[in-house]
Amino acid sequence: MAPAPAASAPPPRPRAERSEPQPFHFWLLGGGVAGLLGSAVWLAIAHFTGFSLGVFVIVLGALVGSGVRAGAKGSYGWGPGLLAAWLTLLFALGTLYVIVNWELREIGKPKETGAPIETVMIHRFAEEVHGELLADGRGGDVPEKNLMNDKLEDDFWPSTWQEAEKRWDALSPEERQERIAEYKAELKRDEAETAEAANEMTWFALLLTLLFSPLFVISMLIGAYGAFKTGSGS
**Model confidence over 161-193: pLDDT tens digits?**
999 999 999 999 999 999 999 999 998 998 888
Nearest Cα residue to 25 out of 82, 80, 102, 90: 80
Specify the amino acid at residue 163.
E
Burial grade of 2 (CB within 10 A; 0-12, 13-18, 19 or more): exposed
**Model confidence over 84-140: pLDDT tens digits?**
999 999 999 999 999 999 989 888 776 665 678 888 899 888 888 888 888 877 666
- The whole-number average pLDDT for the span 10-29 is 69
- pLDDT number for residue 97: 95
Contact in structure between 35 and 91 (CB atoms under 8 Å)? yes
Cα 180 from chain centroid? 31
117 versus 1: the higher-pLDDT residue is 117
Contact in structure between 58 and 219 (CB atoms under 8 Å)? yes
The residues pairing with 73 across neighbouring beta strands, listed in sequence order, are 21
Region of poorest pLDDT, from 52-61, 145-154, 190-199, 214-223:
145-154
pLDDT-derived band at 3, boundaries 50, 70, 90: low
Contact in structure between 62 and 70 (CB atoms under 8 Å)? no
Share of the chain above pLDDT 70, in %: 84
Exposed e or buried b per residue across 3-39, where buried means at least 16 C-beta atoms within 10 angstroms of its C-beta:
eeeeeeeeeeeeeeeeeeebeeebbbbbbbebbeebb
- H or E segment and range at residue 105: helix 78-108
- pLDDT number for residue 70: 93
Nearest Cα residue to 19 out of 64, 70, 94, 90: 70
pTM, rounded to two decimals: 0.71
- pLDDT number for residue 16: 42
Contact in structure between 90 and 35 (CB atoms under 8 Å)? yes
Count the alpha carbons within 13 Å of 23 in the hemisphere toward its beta carbon.
1
- The whole-number average pLDDT for the span 5-26 is 62
- pLDDT number for residue 147: 46
48 versus 90: the higher-pLDDT residue is 90
Q: What is the mean pLDDT of the chain?
A: 84
- pLDDT number for residue 63: 96
- Compute how many other C-beta atoms are within 10 angstroms of the C-beta atom of residue 208: 12
Specify the amino acid at residue 198.
A
- The whole-number average pLDDT for the span 10-32 is 73
